[in-house]
Amino acid sequence: MSEQEAIGRVHRELQRLAGHRGWLNGSRLVNRLAGALAISHLDVRHNLLALAQARIIDNIGPTGDGLGRVNILQRLREEQTSVSEHEREWQNLISSKGMDPAVETALGEIGTALAGLSRSDMEHLLEGFFRLVADRDRLAGRDPHEISAKYFLGSSKVLGKLGKALAAAGILASSFGTRPRYMLGAGPAQSKFTLLVENPECLERVVALGVAERMTVIATYGYGITWSGLGVEGRLDHIKIARVAGTPPATLNDAVAVETCFWGDLDSAGLDIFLKLRGLVPHLALSALYRPMLAAAADAATSHPYCSLVEKFGQINMFSNSGAEARLAVACRFRSVDQEFVSSADILLLADQALN
């Protein structure tokens, strides 16, 4: 699929979601589009930025996320689309049950996602929905993935796609609990500085160098924190720290209560991760460990282009007009450097400093 076709596909899905209103709520828009189109969050952001720059939509921030109300400024001509067999089968099934119209409408919207399900599968899926609604009072606080697997065809992924239908039936997502989240961490009992590291391999290296004896170090697993349910909700107090070494804080919320910096790859995705994390930790700064990486990015012998060989083909160019991230965005516009490049001597020297 060409880039223009990919952008058009996102445009059409935006138009479908907006309906006759002509606008959408920008909150979690990237997640909704990624789920509906089965593409990566990074690709969604790239396409939203392209649509905004072409003035087809508005209110898209520099990271590709929706800001408040996202308006469709230019509409595609409506296509005459035929209803697929599985959608027709699903619609006939739910229409035969005589349920509340609001619930039926909401359930009807998931029909497009049911390709590959037999009529029997659909019946079991709908039966599970009715059983869950009937059992709502004893499911409070339970792990939503466990509930999903027990009520919906043994899959932990289905419940998240039924949020609108469950809400129409009077069951909000907040009725359920949250799946526990653990991040790897190391550090002393009392630390005045925390370093968030993009990948666990670099965390292991930092620990081996003894840096975690004087400060807290935590692996974010790339987008792991910001894409997890608890991260999206901002419940950092529910993300627990699994101890690798020392006695680090019990929760991520405790860990970032002090001066906190981020160290990841010097590339578009690394900066995107930083910006997402700063949305959860407003005082988050960039680590001074980027200093040797900035020097490396200016040298063709110690940096690489965005290409398939280094598994970075298609990364978008992040841009920002303020703060240290603006300089980094310019530095890695065409070539990037992975965090593993930084020497052990520089890690020992710069790990507990912010980028000046």
Distances (CA, A) of 7 to 49, 135, 191: 10, 42, 46
Among residues of the chain, what percentage have pLDDT more than 90?
A: 40
Q: Using one digit for the tens of pLDDT, what is the confidence trace for 45-73? A: 889 998 998 889 998 988 888 888 899 99
Q: Which fold has domain 3-71?
A: Arc Repressor Mutant, subunit A (1.10.10)
Write out the residue limits of the CATH 3.40.1360.10 domain(s) in the chain.
181-350
Take residue 141 and report the two structure tokens written for it.
């606080």
259-263 sheet: strands from edge to edge: 239-246, 181-187, 216-219, 193-197, 259-263, 285-286
Q: Tell me if 222 sits within 8 A of 315, measured CB to CB.
A: no
pLDDT digits (tens, 9 = 90+) for 217-228: 999 887 667 655
pLDDT digits (tens, 9 = 90+) for 293-347: 999 999 999 998 877 776 665 555 555 555 678 888 888 888 889 999 999 999 9
Distance CA 285, CA 97 (A): 55
Question: Per-residue confidence at 209, pLDDT binned at 50, 70, 90?
Answer: very high
Closest by Cα among 106, 178, 121 to 154: 121
Question: For 150-174, what is the mean pLDDT?
Answer: 88
| Measured distance CA(270)–CA(11) in Å, rounded | 26
| pLDDT at residue 231, rounded to an integer | 52
pLDDT at 113: 85
List the one residue out of 209, 232, 208, 265 whose CA is nearest residue 29. Answer: 232
6-41 confidence digits (pLDDT tens): 888 899 899 888 887 888 888 888 888 888 887 888
CATH 1.10.10 domain range(s) in the chain: 3-71
Residue 72 dihedral angles phi and psi, to the nearest 5°: -90, 105
Q: What is the structure's pLDDT at 40?
A: 84
Neighbours of 195 (CB within 10 A): 27
Task: Look at 313 and 195; give whichever has higher pLDDT.
Answer: 195
Average pLDDT, the chain: 86
pLDDT of residue 320: 54
Structural contact between residues 22 and 71, judged by C-beta atoms closer than 8 angstroms = yes
128 DSSP 8-state letter: H
pTM of this prediction?
0.58
Q: What is the CATH number of domain 181-350?
A: 3.40.1360.10
Tokens for 168?
């129409």
pLDDT digits (tens, 9 = 90+) for 122-140: 999 999 999 999 998 888 8
